Structure 1
Amino acid sequence: MEKHEVTEMYEVRSVNSDKESDAIDLLAERPEQGSNFLAYANVVCVVAGTGTLGLPYALRLGGWIGVGILILSLIMSIYTAILLMKCLYYNGKYRLESYQEIGRHAFGKVGLIAVWFFHTSIVLGAPIMYLILSGTEIEGLAPNVGLDAKAWIWICAAIVAVPFVAMKTLKEVAVMSVFGALATVVLVIVAVRGSIIDMSNPALADVTHNNVVLANLPTTVASISICFGGNVVYMHVEEAMRYPKSWNRVVAAALGTCSILYLATAIPGYLAYGSVAESPILTNLPDDIATKIGTIVIIIHVILAAPILLTSFALEFERLIDVTVARRGVVMERVYRSIIRLAIVGVCGGIACTVPYFGDFLSLLGALGNCTLIFVLPILCYFKLIGWRHLKWYELVWCAIIVLIGIISAIIGSIDAIKALNLRFQTDAKH
C-alpha cells in the first residue's frame, strides 16, 4: 500500500480492491455506539470550559492580535484533528486504539514515549487544573464554613471519583458531557454580562489595551491552545460514535461552537478589564449574584469534565497492564480498576494542593502538552505514516507553519510559565 494514496476521511486507496473494502468497512455504522450529538457534546464539554476563563488574560498578554491567534488556532486544530484521525486508519486493515499507538507506529518506542508523556500531561494536568479551580472558587463562595482551599480540593476530588470509578468507558460518561456543555454556555453568558456592566465602571477608566505585544506572543499562543485541547480524547470519542464517517463534521462543528463561546468571552472581557484582566476572569467580574451563579456553574462543569479526561487516561493505563475481564475475571477486573482509578484521583488531588496557581498552571499546561499534541505531533505522525508527497505545496507550507508555531510556543511558553510559577512559590515563601 502506497503511503501517499490516502484520500477522503481515513480511506486508504489500494490497487487491491479487497483492501479498499476493508478500509471502508472500518468506518461502517456501529449500532451499539452513541449518536453524533453525544460525540459533539463530548468534544464541547472537554474542549470548552476553564480555558474560556483565561482568554481575556491571554489578550492582556498578547494584545488584540490574540483574537486572530484564537481564530488561527481553531483552523489549525480542526485540520490536525482530521489528520490525527486519518492516522488511526492509516493502513486500511485495522483501527489503532490510541494516540500512543499512532506514535508507536510512526516512530517506534521513541514516538510511544513522547506521545505518552505529553498525553499524560494533559489528561492528568487538566483535571488537576479543574480541582485547583473548583477548590479555590468554593472557598470564595463559602468563606465561613471553616474549610480552606485544600480541603475543598479533596472534597471535589472525592466527588469526581464517584463517576470515574463507577463508569468504565467514555460511552457511559458521555451523557455527563451534555450537562457540561450547557454549563459552559451559562458561564459565558455570566462573563459577558459582568464585562458589559464593568465597561462603565469609573474605576476601570484608566485600563489600557495593546494591539500586539511581541514578547508575549508565544505565551499567548500557549494559553489559547489549551482552549482546543481535545486531541487527548478524540480517539475515544470517535470510537464511541455510531457514525464514524461523520467525524470531520462533528469535530468542526464542536470546535466552531467552542470558538464562538471563546470570542464572546474574550472580546468583552478584554474591552472591560484590559491591562488588569485576570485568569480566571471570575476574579474581575462584579461581586453579585450572577457572578456567584457563574462560579457555581463552572464548578459543576469541571466536576463533570474531569471524569471524561481521567477515563481517557485510565483506559490506556488499564489496557497497558491488561486489566480486562478476559484476563482478570469480572470481579477482579472491577477490583483492580477501582483501585487504579482511586489512586489516579488521589495523585491528582495531591498535586492540586501543591500547586494552587490556576493562571500559571494553565499556561504551563497549554505550552507543554497542548502545543505539542495539537499542533506538532499530528502532522509529524501523518507525514511518517501516510506521507507528504501527495500534498500540494501550499498544504506543505501550511503544515510547516503549524509545526513551527507549535514548537516555538511550546518552548518559550513553558519557560515563561515555569518562571511565573517559580516567582509565585518564592513570593509565598517570603510571606
Structure 2
Amino acid sequence: MGYDLEKKISRPSSNAGNSISSDSNVAEKHNGDLLAERPSQGSSYQAFFNIVCVVAGTGTLGLPFSLAQGGWIGVGLLVLSMIMSIYTGMLLIKCLYYNGHTRIASYQEVGRHAFGRWGQGAVWFFHTSVIIGVPVMFFILSGTEISELTKEKVPGISKEAWIWICCCAVSFPFVLMKTLREVSLLSIFGVLATAVLVGVAMVESIIEFPNRLPFEYDIVVVRNLPTVIATLSVCFGGNVVYMHVEEAMRHPRSFNKVLTWAMVFCCVIYSLVAIPGYLTYGPAARSPILSSLPQNASRKIATVMIIAHVLLAAPVLMTSFALEIERILNVTIEHRGRVKERIWRTIVRLVIMGVVGGIACLVPYFDSFLSLLGAFGNCMLIYVMPIGFYWKLYGWRTMKWYELGWCAIVLVIGLLGCVIGSIDAIKALHKDFTEGR
C-alpha cells in the first residue's frame, strides 16, 4: 500500500470523486522538480535516526503494562499499529505535494488546504497537544527516575526540582541548534541510549523470569482494547515531525523507504521489551517497566539511559514545534535580521521550555498521561486526519476498493481509540489526583 512520492494525481476540486485530469503529466513533472535532490540537506541515515529517536522513546517502557491491560492480543495490535502508521505517514507526506507546483510546509497547512480554517485549527489543536505532551512525558519520567536514583545521596531535591534541572539541560541544545538537520547528531546518540535501555529491560526481565509469581496470562481483555490502542499509538507517533524530517532530507524520494525501515526497527525494539516484560511480570507489570525491575546496577544503568534519551530526544521533537511557531511569527533572518532573529528565537524557545516544564510538574503521573496523550492527540493525528485530508485533496475515488476498506478500518480504530481511550485516561488521571499516589 506504499506510495511513490513522484506519482502525481491531478489537483482535485472540491468534488471528492474527481478523476485524473488532462494536465496530470505537467503536474507530475512539477512534482518531480519539487522532489529533486537538495544538496545542502541531511542524508537518509540522519532522517532514519531522527524518526527512530522521536518514535522509539518512552512509550517503549509502557508496553508490558499495555499487554497486562489487553492480553497477548496486544502483540498483534502492536504490529497492526505499525502498519497503519506507515500507511498514514506516506499519505500525509503525499498530501504535501498534492497540487504539483509547491510543497506545503506543515501539517497545519495540509489541514487548511483540505478543510480551510477548521482543518487548520483542528490540526493545530491536536498537533500542539502531542508535540508539547511528549516532551512533558519525557520530563515526568526523567524527573521521577532521577529522584528515585538520588533520593539517598541527595535527599533534599524534589522530583519537581529534577524536572526543572532536566529542562535547563535540554534548553542549551534546544536554543542553540536551529533546525532538525543540526539536531541529527543528538538523535543518533538518542537511538543508542534507547538501544541500551531496551537491552537492560529485556535482559533483566529474562533473568527474573524463573522467580516470577504464579499468575495467568490473558489472551484478550476486550474492555481495555481502546485504551491499549491509544497507548500503542504513542509508540508510533512520529507524524508530528515527518514534514520537517522530509524537508531536511537530501533525497526526499527516499522518505517512504526510510519511514518503513524506521517503523519496522521500532516495532522490533518494542517487541524485545513488551514480550519478556509481560512474560515475567504478567498482570503486575507496571508503567514504566523500570518500576518492576529489581533495584540493582542494571536498573541504575537503565535510569541513566532514560535520562540520556530525554536530553537527546526532547530537542528533536521540540525543535519541530519551535519551527512552526517561528514560521508563524516570521522569526527569520530575512524578516528580523541576524541579531534580532537570534534574540526572538531564544525567547520563543525558552517560553516553550517553560510551558513544558510547568505542565510536567503539575501532572506527574506517567502512565495515565501516556494513555491520555495517545488517545486524545495521536489517534487523531496518526490514524484519522491523514486519511481525511487525503480523501479531500485527492478524492476517495482515486483509491482501489481494498484501499478504501483498509482506510475505513484505520478510521474506526482511530476514532474508537480516541473517544473511549480518552475517557478511560481521564478517569485514571482523576483517580491519581484524588488518591494522590
Which amino acid letter does the alignment assign opposite residue 112 of structure 1?
Q
Q: CA deviation at 1:268?
A: 0.4
Q: For residues 208-223 of structure 1, what are the structure 2 equivalents within 5 Å?
A: 208-223=216-231
Deviations 1:350-369 (A, max 9, x none): 11001100010000001011
Q: For residues 20-59 of structure 1, what are the structure 2 equivalents within 5 Å?
A: 20-59=28-67
Identify if the C-alpha distance between structure 1 residues 327 and 45 changes in structure 2 by more than 3 Å, giving closer, same or farther: same
Deviations 1:119-150 (A, max 9, x none): 00111000011010000100111113121100
Q: CA deviation at 1:22?
A: 1.1
Say yes or no: does 1:174 pair with 2:170. Answer: no
Say yes or no: does 1:206 pair with 2:214. Answer: yes
* Residue matched to 1:69: 77
Deviates more, 1:9-18 or 1:259-268: 9-18
The question of whether the paired residues in 2 share the 8 Å contact of 1:11 and 1:92 is answered with no
Q: Return the alpha-carbon distance in structure 2 between the equivalents of residues 116 and 366 of structure 1.
A: 16
1:34 aligned counterpart, secondary structure:
coil
Q: 272, 281, 286: which is aligned to 2:289?
A: 281
Q: CA deviation at 1:11?
A: 3.0
* Residue matched to 2:205: 195
Q: Return the alpha-carbon distance in structure 1 between the equivalents of residues 317 and 399 of structure 2.
A: 33
Q: 363, 368, 375: which is aligned to 2:376?
A: 368
The question of whether the paired residues in 2 share the 8 Å contact of 1:88 and 1:95 is answered with yes
* Residue matched to 2:404: 396
Q: For residues 117-266 of structure 1, what are the structure 2 equivalents within 5 Å?
A: 117-143=125-151, 144-145=153-154, 146-201=156-211, 204-266=212-274
Q: How many residues align?
A: 422
Which amino acid letter does the alignment assign opposite residue 229 of structure 2?
V
Identify if the C-alpha distance between structure 1 residues 7 and 237 changes in structure 2 by more than 3 Å, giving closer, same or farther: closer
The question of whether the paired residues in 2 share the 8 Å contact of 1:183 and 1:300 is answered with yes
Say yes or no: does 1:9 pair with 2:19. Answer: no
Q: Return the alpha-carbon distance in structure 2 between the equivalents of residues 167 and 368 of structure 1.
A: 30
Q: Return the alpha-carbon distance in structure 1 between the equivalents of residues 68 and 9 of structure 2.
A: 48
Q: CA deviation at 1:8?
A: 3.0
The question of whether the paired residues in 1 share the 8 Å contact of 2:123 and 2:381 is answered with yes
The question of whether the paired residues in 2 share the 8 Å contact of 1:375 and 1:403 is answered with yes
The question of whether the paired residues in 2 share the 8 Å contact of 1:10 and 1:90 is answered with no
2:5 aligned counterpart, secondary structure:
coil
Which amino acid letter does the alignment assign opposite residue 11 of structure 1?
K
Q: Return the alpha-carbon distance in structure 2 between the equivalents of residues 424 and 13 of structure 1.
A: 50
The question of whether the paired residues in 2 share the 8 Å contact of 1:207 and 1:276 is answered with no
1:54 aligned counterpart, secondary structure:
helix
1:385 aligned counterpart, secondary structure:
helix
Q: Return the alpha-carbon distance in structure 2 between the equivalents of residues 109 and 205 of structure 1.
A: 55
* Residue matched to 1:416: 424
Q: For residues 278-357 of structure 1, what are the structure 2 equivalents within 5 Å?
A: 278-357=286-365
* Residue matched to 1:96: 104
Which amino acid letter does the alignment assign opposite residue 403 of structure 1?
L
Q: Return the alpha-carbon distance in structure 1 between the equivalents of residues 427 and 133 of structure 2.
A: 18
Q: Return the alpha-carbon distance in structure 2 between the equivalents of residues 75 and 180 of structure 1.
A: 24
Q: Return the alpha-carbon distance in structure 1 between the equivalents of residues 99 and 6 of structure 2.
A: 9
Which amino acid letter does the alignment assign opposite residue 153 of structure 1?
I
Q: Return the alpha-carbon distance in structure 2 between the equivalents of residues 102 and 217 of structure 1.
A: 31
Deviations 1:282-334 (A, max 9, x none): 00112111111011011101121111111111110111111111111111111
Q: Return the alpha-carbon distance in structure 1 between the equivalents of residues 29 and 345 of structure 2.
A: 37
The question of whether the paired residues in 2 share the 8 Å contact of 1:121 and 1:365 is answered with yes
Which amino acid letter does the alignment assign opposite residue 426 of structure 2?
I
TM-score, with length taken from structure 1: 0.96
Q: Return the alpha-carbon distance in structure 2 between the equivalents of residues 256 and 333 of structure 1.
A: 39
The question of whether the paired residues in 2 share the 8 Å contact of 1:364 and 1:414 is answered with yes
Q: Return the alpha-carbon distance in structure 1 between the equivalents of residues 27 and 202 of structure 2.
A: 52
The question of whether the paired residues in 1 share the 8 Å contact of 2:9 and 2:394 is answered with no
Identify if the C-alpha distance between structure 1 residues 139 and 394 changes in structure 2 by more than 3 Å, giving closer, same or farther: same
Q: Return the alpha-carbon distance in structure 2 between the equivalents of residues 189 and 10 of structure 1.
A: 39
Q: Return the alpha-carbon distance in structure 2 between the equivalents of residues 11 and 180 of structure 1.
A: 34
The question of whether the paired residues in 1 share the 8 Å contact of 2:9 and 2:98 is answered with no
The question of whether the paired residues in 2 share the 8 Å contact of 1:10 and 1:87 is answered with no
The question of whether the paired residues in 2 share the 8 Å contact of 1:7 and 1:13 is answered with no
Q: Return the alpha-carbon distance in structure 1 between the equivalents of residues 355 and 287 of structure 2.
A: 25
* Residue matched to 2:17: none
Q: CA deviation at 1:36?
A: 0.5
Q: Return the alpha-carbon distance in structure 2 between the equivalents of residues 426 and 65 of structure 1.
A: 32
Identify if the C-alpha distance between structure 1 residues 45 and 170 changes in structure 2 by more than 3 Å, giving closer, same or farther: same
Say yes or no: does 1:425 pair with 2:433. Answer: yes
* Residue matched to 1:3: none
RMSD of aligned alpha carbons: 1.2
Q: Which runs of 5+ in 1 are unaligned?
A: 1-5
Q: Return the alpha-carbon distance in structure 1 between the equivalents of residues 119 and 71 of structure 2.
A: 36
Deviations 1:354-394 (A, max 9, x none): 11000100000010111110000000000000111121111
Q: Which runs of 5+ in 2 are unaligned?
A: 11-21
Q: CA deviation at 1:7?
A: 6.9
The question of whether the paired residues in 1 share the 8 Å contact of 2:183 and 2:315 is answered with yes
